[in-house]
Amino acid sequence: MGRIKILPDAIANKIAAGEVIERPASVVKELLENSLDADADDLRIDIEAGGRKLIRISDNGTGMLRDDALLAFERHATSKLRTADDLFAIATLGFRGEALPSVASVSRLELTTRSREEATGTRIEIAGAKMIRCDEFAREPGTTISIRDLFYNVPARRKFLRSEQTEISHIASLVTHYSLAHADKSFELTHMGQRLLFVTPVESMKERVFQVFGSKILADLIEVPETIHEEFRLSGFVSNPQVQKLNRNSIYLFVNGRLIRDKVLLHALTAAYHNLMPPQSFPFVLIFLDCAPEEIDVNVHPSKTEIRFQNGSLVHNFVRDSIRELLMKSRPASSIPLPQQPQAGVDMPLSEYSQALQSGNFPLPSQPRLVMPVSGDEAAIPLISVNPVSSPTSHPVNTDLSSLSSDLEILEMKTESLVSTSSGVRLPVPDTHGPLPAGEWQVEHPSLDVLRDLRPLGQLQESFIIAAGRDGLWIIDQHVAHERILFEQVLKRRAAGTIEKQQLLMPMVIPLTVGQQIEYARIADELAAVGFETEPFGQRTLAIKAAPAGLNTGEIERVILEILEITEGELRKASVDDLRRGVAASVACRAAIKINMRLDMTKMEWLLAELAKTEFPTSCPHGRPIALRYSMRDILKGFHRI
């Protein structure tokens, strides 16, 4: 008697659910993808208790015929794939036919659906994979799926669920993602009756970004115009390097409309921002990469969030170069934060919604943060109170800085109405009351091109150059400015083979650790290319005979050790290009004018003129800002002249 048995479907589905359904947000993902595959353009998502109690998704898509609705819960039942060949050219989001049976095996599920081809609809109820009811049901064309008591029969999974707040923020992030990818569709997300997101169809991606994140965010974004390379098309938005995020939550990547986490693309982004942003900080990115379905394999992971590119390095370099070039071209400048604006100068001002998204910290009804008096019982509170804001004094003062900053932001977005919710959280809903006036979200980028006309006025603390410009007052960090100039110079001369060297009178000998010696062997050529003449000198010692011109003798040893250290760490797996830039950054930093160094007028003029000539005068090779601008507008505002 053999020991191997085929598992019953109920168990197989539960196993599949283990992979596909990790948490409530995974259910939302699968159901949203189904609705989008069904051509819906109005999607509504209602959640209770972070998704533990209820997840309901309603759409106005094609709906299902009665027979299909029954079949949909069978394992491997799909309308999206016919032959094995189809698997290599998938144009829909779903294809595995696993989601519905998986979800149905770990929850109590109710489906109502109607196809336009049938006069009445169908209702199906399933609990823990058992069919409880299937009857006729009157409804509009479309589909509604309600999932109650997720994991009620899988205690182990239920235990792993995080707080309601965490789960709802995962869900909100997911719905936000999909709403960004489909600007022409409506999305509405509610939690415990509280509306978190509501966007109606708009024509452009830009308008959708405005709807979701608010106007200020657009000021910090650079639009990626549609760029084509071989089979690939790239478009979207990237933030200028002043926007520095602590995590990757603001990176939104789509390949053929599918939300993905992909190492190749993430690395390409890091490489694009390399030397423009400090390490361990991340940009805001919303990019769409489109290609023929054959170029990618989407059947890599059950939750379909990973893909494999046929030609990963082509995609990587295309994305890196397109974005890097854009960042170079836009050359935006930091502006000095005005005293009334509590949000940090370098961080992106966010609407309350996007702040919550970023921090994963969605306020729950049980944790009121009252900013607006709310009356009546919770259920009876209208979700939208049309309440255009006229003056700052019309609001009770709130001492919480983060909501204060979003108060200010909301005040500036005069066209927006506010949503008052039972928890008192107000979210901008710019969309519900007519179209946006043009220009409202087209914020001008102050460009560092104006650097050319800067007139130095003097030096502050022998460290910062104060300069008058066409458009206001500038403060320039002399060290990082010079660092940027040298960095670009080193790279240019290195490429042209015109690096200048200084021969040392006496070779300098430095001891190396084993690790440093291994690194040295790896990067010796690169050191030679930027002007170092070095050679191993006995056991674990290095002799330096020449160094790049401009480096003080005292700095030479430090540069070498620093380069060895960075290549040992962060740059170990980096590409040749990144290594080259890392080495150049190190040399530039050590050779640059220091702070606390007196400069005369001619030196300052020279420095500003050289800075204006650089390709990217905005930030130093390590990503710090070089110049701050106090615009004429800010000055006039400060003196109450406007």
**Applying CB under 6 A, which residues contact ligand ADP?**
30, 34-35, 38, 59, 61-64, 72, 77-80, 94-100, 143
CA distance 306 to 263: 9
Asked whether 269 and 283 are in contact (CB, 8 A), the reply is yes
Q: Which does 80 bind (CB under 5 to 8 A by kind): Mg ion, ligand ADP, none?
A: ligand ADP
Q: Which does 582 bind (CB under 5 to 8 A by kind): ligand ADP, Mg ion, none?
A: none
CA distance 586 to 513: 20
Residue with Cβ nearer Mg ion (81 or 612): 81
Q: In the chain, how long is the greatest CA-to-CA distance?
A: 95
Residue with Cβ nearer Mg ion (80 or 445): 80
Token pair listed for 92: 């829909």
Residue with Cβ nearer ligand ADP (86 or 577): 86
Residue with Cβ nearer ligand ADP (77 or 374): 77
Size of the site for Mg ion (CB under 5 A): 3
Within 332-400, where are the H helices?
Answer: 352-359
Residue with Cβ nearer ligand ADP (42 or 440): 42
Residue with Cβ nearer ligand ADP (86 or 440): 86
Quote the least distance from Cβ 69 to ligand ADP, whole Å: 8
Residue located via tokens 């740059």? 571
Q: Which does 12 bind (CB under 5 to 8 A by kind): Mg ion, ligand ADP, none?
A: none
Candidates 34, 112, 179, 417: give the one binding Mg ion (CB under 5 A): 34
Quote the least distance from Cβ 72 to ligand ADP, whole Å: 4
Closest alpha carbon to 144 in 71, 79, 69:
69
CA distance 242 to 336: 12
Q: Which does 61 bind (CB under 5 to 8 A by kind): Mg ion, ligand ADP, none?
A: ligand ADP
Which position's Cβ is nearest ligand ADP? 94
Residue ranges of E strands in 432-540: 455-460, 464-469, 472-477, 501-511, 533-536
Residue with Cβ nearer ligand ADP (62 or 406): 62
Quote the least distance from Cβ 64 to Mg ion, whole Å: 12
Residue located via tokens 């995974």? 26
Quote the least distance from Cβ 66 to ligand ADP, whole Å: 12
Asked whether 210 and 436 are in contact (CB, 8 A), the reply is yes
Neighbouring CB atoms inside 10 A of 226's CB total: 11
Quote the least distance from Cβ 288 to ligand ADP, whole Å: 21
CA distance 255 to 60: 25
CA distance 394 to 413: 15
Quote the least distance from Cβ 383 to ligand ADP, whole Å: 25
Quote the least distance from Cβ 213 to ligand ADP, whole Å: 28
Residue with Cβ nearer ligand ADP (298 or 512): 298
* Order of strands across the sheet that contains 251-255: 221-229, 232-239, 285-290, 251-255, 258-259
- Cross-strand bridge partners of residue 253: 287
Quote the least distance from Cβ 59 to ligand ADP, whole Å: 5
Q: Which does 179 bind (CB under 5 to 8 A by kind): ligand ADP, Mg ion, none?
A: none
Q: Which does 35 bind (CB under 5 to 8 A by kind): Mg ion, ligand ADP, none?
A: ligand ADP
Contacts (Cβ under 8 Å, ≥6 apart) of 636: 642
Based on the shown chain and the rule CB under 5 A, indicate whether residue 214 belongs to the binding site for Mg ion.
no
221 vs 108, 236, 442, 592, CA distance in Å?
A: 43, 10, 10, 31
Asked whether 91 and 39 are in contact (CB, 8 A), the reply is no
Closest alpha carbon to 286 in 351, 361, 171, 204:
204
Residue with Cβ nearer ligand ADP (80 or 522): 80
* DSSP state at residue 274: B
Q: Which does 79 bind (CB under 5 to 8 A by kind): Mg ion, ligand ADP, none?
A: ligand ADP
Contact set for Mg ion, span 425-454 (CB under 5 A): none
Quote the least distance from Cβ 103 to ligand ADP, whole Å: 8
Quote the least distance from Cβ 176 to ligand ADP, whole Å: 20
Token pair listed for 532: 């170092």
Token pair listed for 220: 């910090």
Token pair listed for 620: 């130093």
* Residue 306 C-beta-side C-alpha neighbours within 13 Å: 7
Q: Which does 335 bind (CB under 5 to 8 A by kind): ligand ADP, Mg ion, none?
A: none
Closest alpha carbon to 532 in 575, 487, 494, 581:
494
Q: Which does 97 bind (CB under 5 to 8 A by kind): ligand ADP, Mg ion, none?
A: ligand ADP
Residue with Cβ nearer ligand ADP (138 or 597): 138
Residue with Cβ nearer ligand ADP (16 or 180): 16
Neighbouring CB atoms inside 10 A of 622's CB total: 18
Binding mask 69-108 for Mg ion (x = CB under 5 A): -------------------------x----x---------
Quote the least distance from Cβ 86 to ligand ADP, whole Å: 12
Binding stretches for Mg ion (CB under 5 A): 34, 94, 99
